[in-house]
Chains A and B, each alone.
Chain A
Amino acid sequence: MITVQNLTKDYGLNRAIENLNFTAEKGEVLGFLGPNGAGKTTTIRILTGYMPPTSGSADIGGFDVIENSLEVRKLIGYLPETVPLYGDMRIYDYFKYMADLRHIKNPDEKIEEVLEMIGLELRSQSLIKNISKGMQQRVGLGQALLHEPEVLILDEPTIGLDPKQISEVRNIIKNIGKERTVLLSTHILSEAQQICDRVLIINKGKIVAEDAPENLQSRLSSIQKVRIRVANDPDKAAALIRDTAGIMNVKINDNGMIEFENKVEHDSRAVIARTLVKKGFELLELTPEIISLEDIFLKLTREEPSEFSPEALEGQEE
């Protein structure tokens, strides 16, 4: 449905995105993941025909986004980053306006449907400026769904929602993604992990990784971290672990936990457990620490490893 080739966009001397290439198929939720300022919104604005690329091409449903902008715009439903609402309008009137602009045949039916989907059927006569931020976000999403678009493009769709609403919106997106194409941008990793079939990690205008969230995780996490707690004498146990083949970075942390790392392909958990028990240690806990997409994301998007880089701090929020 979406094909992007060598897409580049310059703002003056600044290169916002460089040679982006990707595709999205029907029935797929494609996640666009990256720190703020990575070029997500720029790419999305090019796809929706809001601005042209400096070079390269993009087409949606077989229509070029520049040459056939109007056809493309008919196909897409778009929720921009700043939710585009008219505060002085009632929710129903706003939907009616958008439905009329999109020449929807039976607007009232569609509006009912969308209101139900976003859970605001009882608020349709409220002025948009008087409803909560989360509701406004859902109204924005509703506007993008009115005409049952083939392609749904969402720029940070869950910002400003409370946890319950986040999961509701995610479910809506997942359902739509079953039959149609969804492209969504986010800087929240767990979100990409939960709703996307495929994730593009973008940093400084370039795609740094592309795969299914599970694959990204296994492909890029070659090291497994394990934590062990024994009932007595952790120092001795640590020494024992240190002697085992294929184990790296054995440490004892402040609360007596022993941490070590090993290569994923040499899983040494069973060996360690057996040795420790045989030598008379009482093994209380053995926890493999899964390297999350978050860690991968940080690894990929961080040039200098620093605990206080904006990306790292952003990751911690979630």
Chain B
Amino acid sequence: MRNIWTIAKKEYTGFFYSPIAYVVGAVIFLVMGIYFAFYMNIAIVYQYVPEFTSVLDILVFPLLFLAIPVLTMKTLTDENKTGTLELLLTAPVRDYELIIGKWLGTFLFFLTMIALTLLYPLIMNMVVEPGIDQPLIVSNYLGIILMTSAMTAIGVCISSLFKNTIAALIASIGTLLILWLASAPSQFLSGAAADFFTNICITTQYYNGFRNGVVSLFGISYYISLTILALFLGTRTIESRRWR
């Protein structure tokens, strides 16, 4: 446990020294800010009550789909490239501690950025009478945080497979997009098969549940299971290095 925290802390603080993290943060706030401003304007012009959920949609897609691969791509490829992986694997650190630590550090960094986006609903709350639907915002953010957890775990897992950072980046964007499109076949299917493809899609639980204010146990366990599965596969990849 202690090692996980040590690695997570190093990973987290590392982002504050990384230009990439600042660029990612700036892009997220800029794009969200522009979208927010336009959305508010349109709402004022056409005289309807703005809903913050619509603003969050741009954070879910495409912002997180791009930002997560960018910030997870280096987590293990860099260790692999610079030889520090050899250092960590020959120090008394268990493979799962390394993977979980890497994921936790990155996840905490995203939590920080997501927490900063709370500024927008605060502004909207001040502008809109009698205020925005706060429980809905909580449910939205809970969904986004859970989805970020799963997507970050996938990014770290894919980073463990590669020595080349760009390869890891493209592979994780691809994996996330495929998981996003996974619900498409359900259009042509029915019954259990359709349910399967709908549920395997990474955004289904968000769009069908959390986004509408429905916090379901299934939704929560879906994202937690996906996180655990990805971290488990990442650990196996690291382990497999020892046997190759």
Contacts and interface: CB of A to CB of B under 8 A. Distances in A.
Contacts of A52: 242-243
A22 interface: no
Contacts of B92: 70, 73-74, 101-103
Contacts of B83: 80-84
A48 B88 CA distance: 11
A101 B94 CA distance: 11
Contacts of A76: 90
A88 interface: yes
Nearest to A75: B92
* Interface of chain A: mostly helix, strand, loop or mixed: loop
Interface string A82-96: 111111110000000
Q: Which of A85, A88, A100, A143: most chain B CB closer than 10 A?
A: A100
Nearest to A81: B83
A49 interface: yes
Interface in A45-82: 45, 48-52, 70, 73-74, 76, 78, 80-82
Given A70-B92, A73-B92, A80 B17 contact: no
A73 B6 contact: no
B217 interface: no
A291 B90 CA distance: 39
Interface in B103-141: none
B155 to A, nearest CB: 20
A80 B3 CA distance: 21
B216 interface: no
Interface residues of A, number: 28
Contacts of B90: 48-50, 73, 76, 78, 80
A84 B82 contact: yes
Contacts of A82: 82-83, 86
Contacts of A98: 87, 91
A51 B238 CA distance: 11
A137 to B, nearest CB: 13
Nearest to A98: B91
Contacts of B89: 49-50
B6 A101 contact: yes
A70 B94 contact: yes
Interface string B61-96: 000000000000000000000111011111111100
Nearest to B14: A88
Interface string B1-27: 011001100100010011000000000
B12 to A, nearest CB: 12
Contacts of A80: 83, 86-87, 90
A148 to B, nearest CB: 14
A73 B82 CA distance: 20
A143 B87 CA distance: 10
A11 to B, nearest CB: 9
A88 B17 CA distance: 7
B86 to A, nearest CB: 5
A279 B96 CA distance: 83
Contact of A100 (B6, B17, B242): B6
A52 B89 CA distance: 13
Contacts of A84: 82-84, 86-87
Contacts of B82: 82, 84-87
**Which residue, B14, B82, B91, has most C-beta atoms of chain A within 10 A?**
B91
Q: Which 9 A-B pairs have the closest CB atoms?
A: A84-B87, A82-B83, A48-B90, A84-B84, A100-B6, A73-B92, A84-B83, A74-B92, A80-B86
Interface of A: 45, 48-52, 70, 73-74, 76, 78, 80-89, 97-98, 100-103, 143
6 contacts: A51-B244, A82-B83, A85-B82, A87-B82, A98-B87, A103-B92
